């Protein structure tokens, strides 16, 4: 450690032993000496450590964070401001110089315990900002593409999932090898053009799970985008980059796709509005398909009105006249696939909506064998995904990470006979599901759980996926719109209430969601 300058207020004396403790801390941080760092942070439940990722509360949580990160960035201390408070407390504010350039700041409240040892009670750490967060974005501009000179969405900024054509830019689809072979698009995807035409600007092209074939939000090449609502949790996918961009305030509209939950799940995990539109309602031209029978376009936003504006800009006028849902269904049998906390939050929300007079006509329905429905969905999805991407994947061994690589490998094993049988089952399921729903709008949790921690192992992520797919597949199988509305939490973490409205009832579904939101979330 090089010498740093110490600044004390005029007339103040350096608290005895404090700077030794600061030096000890710096040594331990640079050596990633976890034992010493644990000792130098105050024990107990109220110790705080905050950084750009959020606030960690309690010694155990902070300790676990340190274990997981594998060391702090290399740095030097430049200036250390010491503000003594009393004999046993002092503020230490340090200007840090990371070896990678820029300046950081570290603010700490140090307190002396009964044994006379100095420990950190509160810490606030700031590091230099990178040019761009590559887990969220692949390319950004100021803006990347300016919107047309029209007023409707003039102040909106769009994060486009890297699955849409943006004129002048190559498409990456979350796969660097695919990106390397892509040539710049010559025109915008219809969904991109619709937003630009009404004045929104494109901030950038945002990351996705590889070929959008996941709902976890992990990408082995570009990293895992941060969850904007839950510190250390998965963002949800596959529209992970657009979701994190919107949750973190880096864009106001995320343009994404949803085949099996890729908009509703990240919306649920990050407390956003997320709409999967009616299948076919927004033209898929310029969109890289995954499974065309289920692929839909949609948006992620922080507010209902922005969602409505994005939908209005993108849907035909003829699709915007269906009335707001009035007859509702829910399914206890279906919801059983959600975790207990999510079920409780959902039941509570429904009760409160009934109390508010917003669910006068609601019935419980049973869709029968949910596992069979999911299997039908997954089989057709896999057969189509392999039809779309199989040749390229076969020609590029090693281009995909383990998880999605294995999923495509399984997709490659779907036989023509199995696919044909699943397509027959799909046609029957559509009729059955609509018969059960009888024109009603379905309410259900948008995901089976809150966002799993990033440290979750593959098996745990797969279990979560299995539960969530049982909930999300109803919209996929019926082609109905599905809107995740941010009105529920479990232990502080968000989970969405999903509204599966009638086909082409996208706008009415948003209006219903806005009413629910007003009733359930205390207005400002």
Residue whose CB is less far from its own copies, 30 or 387: 30
In the bound complex, what is the minimum distance in angstroms from residue 252's beta carbon to its own copies?
7
Phi, psi of 395 (to 5 degrees): -80, -10
Is cis: bond before 143, omega within 30 of 0? yes
* Nearest-angstrom CA–CA distance, 263 and 252: 15
In the bound complex, what is the minimum distance in angstroms from residue 221's beta carbon to its own copies?
10
Q: Is 328 helix (H, G, I), strand (E, B) or coil?
A: strand
Residue whose CB is less far from its own copies, 134 or 453: 134
Residue whose CB is less far from its own copies, 107 or 412: 107
Residue whose CB is less far from its own copies, 163 or 329: 163
Buried-state track 47-71, b at ≥16 Cβ within 10 A, e below 16 = bbbbbeebebeebebbbeebeeeee
Residue whose CB is less far from its own copies, 176 or 453: 176
In the bound complex, what is the minimum distance in angstroms from residue 95's beta carbon to its own copies?
6
Whether 270 and 228 have beta carbons less than 8 Å apart is answered as yes
* Nearest-angstrom CA–CA distance, 411 and 382: 5
Phi, psi of 431 (to 5 degrees): -65, -45
**For residue 201, what are the β-bridge partners?**
157
Residues 6+ away with beta carbon under 8 Å from 58:
44, 45, 46, 47
In the bound complex, what is the minimum distance in angstroms from residue 9's beta carbon to its own copies?
4
* Nearest-angstrom CA–CA distance, 85 and 13: 11
Burial of 391 (0-12, 13-18, 19+ CB in 10 A): exposed
Whether 474 and 293 have beta carbons less than 8 Å apart is answered as no
Residue whose CB is less far from its own copies, 81 or 392: 81
**For residue 106, what are the β-bridge partners?**
94, 125
Q: What's the order of all strands across the beta sheet hosting 104-112?
A: 5-7, 75-86, 89-98, 104-112, 118-126, 48-51, 54-57
The Cβ-side half-sphere exposure at 163, using a 13 Å CA radius, reads: 31
In the bound complex, what is the minimum distance in angstroms from residue 46's beta carbon to its own copies?
4
The Cβ-side half-sphere exposure at 26, using a 13 Å CA radius, reads: 23
Count CB atoms within 10 A of the CB of residue 355. Answer: 10
Residue whose CB is less far from its own copies, 17 or 128: 128
Length of the chain: 524
Residue whose CB is less far from its own copies, 306 or 379: 306
In the bound complex, what is the minimum distance in angstroms from residue 404's beta carbon to its own copies?
20
Q: What is the chain's alpha carbon radius of gyration, rounded to the nearest angstrom? A: 25
Residue whose CB is less far from its own copies, 1 or 318: 1
Residue whose CB is less far from its own copies, 157 or 296: 157
Residue whose CB is less far from its own copies, 79 or 412: 79
In the bound complex, what is the minimum distance in angstroms from residue 467's beta carbon to its own copies?
28
In the bound complex, what is the minimum distance in angstroms from residue 196's beta carbon to its own copies?
15
In the bound complex, what is the minimum distance in angstroms from residue 51's beta carbon to its own copies?
8
Buried-state track 328-342, b at ≥16 Cβ within 10 A, e below 16 = bbbbeebbebbbebb
Q: C-alpha angle with apex 204: 210 to 511, nearest 5 degrees? A: 85
In the bound complex, what is the minimum distance in angstroms from residue 7's beta carbon to its own copies?
8
Residue whose CB is less far from its own copies, 44 or 323: 44
Can you state the angle between helices 416-437 and 458-478, rounded to 10 degrees? 60
Closest CA to 253 of 199, 174, 317: 199
Burial of 238 (0-12, 13-18, 19+ CB in 10 A): buried
In the bound complex, what is the minimum distance in angstroms from residue 485's beta carbon to its own copies?
17
In the bound complex, what is the minimum distance in angstroms from residue 346's beta carbon to its own copies?
23
* Nearest-angstrom CA–CA distance, 44 and 198: 53
In the bound complex, what is the minimum distance in angstroms from residue 2's beta carbon to its own copies?
5
Residue whose CB is less far from its own copies, 279 or 302: 302
């Amino acid at each position: 450690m090089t010498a740093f300058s110490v600044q004390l207020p005029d007339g103040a004396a350096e608290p005895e032993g404090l700077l030794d403790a600061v030096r000890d801390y710096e040594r331990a941080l640079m050596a990633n000496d976890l034992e010493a760092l644990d000792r130098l942070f105050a024990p107990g439940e109220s110790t705080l450590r905050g950084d750009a990722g959020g606030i960690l509360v309690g010694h155990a949580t902070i300790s676990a964070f340190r274990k997981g990160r594998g060391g702090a960035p290399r740095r030097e201390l430049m200036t250390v401001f010491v503000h003594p408070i009393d004999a046993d407390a002092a503020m230490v504010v340090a200007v840090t110089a990371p070896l990678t350039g820029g300046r950081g700041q570290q603010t700490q409240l140090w307190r002396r315990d009964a044994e006379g040892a100095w420990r950190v009670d509160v810490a606030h750490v700031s590091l230099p900002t990178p040019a761009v967060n590559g887990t969220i974005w692949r390319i950004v501009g100021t803006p990347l593409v300016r919107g047309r000179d029209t007023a409707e969405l003039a102040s909106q900024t769009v994060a486009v999932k890297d699955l849409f054509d943006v004129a002048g830019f190559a498409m990456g689809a979350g796969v660097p090898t695919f990106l390397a072979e892509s040539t710049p698009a010559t025109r915008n995807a219809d969904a991109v053009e619709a937003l630009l035409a009404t004045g929104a600007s494109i901030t950038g092209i945002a990351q996705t799970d590889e070929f959008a074939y996941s709902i976890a939000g992990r990408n082995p090449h570009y990293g895992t985008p941060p969850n904007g609502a839950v510190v250390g949790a998965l963002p949800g996918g596959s529209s992970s980059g657009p979701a994190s961009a919107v949750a973190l305030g880096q864009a106001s509209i995320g343009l994404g796709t949803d085949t099996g939950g890729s908009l509703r799940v990240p919306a649920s995990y990050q407390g956003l509005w997320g709409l999967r539109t009616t299948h076919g309602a927004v033209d898929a031209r310029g969109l890289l398909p995954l499974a065309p029978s289920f692929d839909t376009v949609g948006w992620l936003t922080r507010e209902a009105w922005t969602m409505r504006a994005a939908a209005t800009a993108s849907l035909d006028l003829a699709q915007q006249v269906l009335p707001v849902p009035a007859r509702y269904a829910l399914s206890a049998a279906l919801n059983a696939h959600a975790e207990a906390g999510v079920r409780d939050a959902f039941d509570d929300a429904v009760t409160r909506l009934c109390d508010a007079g917003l669910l006068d006509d609601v019935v419980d329905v049973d869709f029968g064998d949910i596992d069979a429905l999911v299997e039908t969905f997954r089989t057709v999805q896999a057969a189509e995904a392999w039809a779309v991407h199989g040749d390229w994947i076969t020609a590029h061994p090693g281009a995909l990470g383990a998880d999605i690589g294995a999923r495509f490998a399984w997709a490659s094993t779907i036989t023509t006979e199995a696919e044909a049988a699943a397509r027959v089952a799909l046609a029957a399921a559509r009729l059955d599901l609509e018969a059960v729903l009888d024109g009603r709008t379905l309410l259900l949790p948008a995901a089976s759980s809150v966002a799993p921690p990033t440290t979750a192992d593959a098996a745990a992520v797969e279990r979560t996926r299995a539960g969530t797919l049982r909930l999300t597949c109803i919209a996929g199988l019926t082609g109905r719109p599905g809107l995740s509305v941010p009105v529920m939490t479990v232990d502080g973490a968000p989970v969405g209430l999903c509204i599966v409205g009638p086909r082409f009832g996208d706008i009415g579904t948003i209006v219903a969601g806005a009413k629910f939101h007003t009733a359930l979330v205390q207005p400002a």
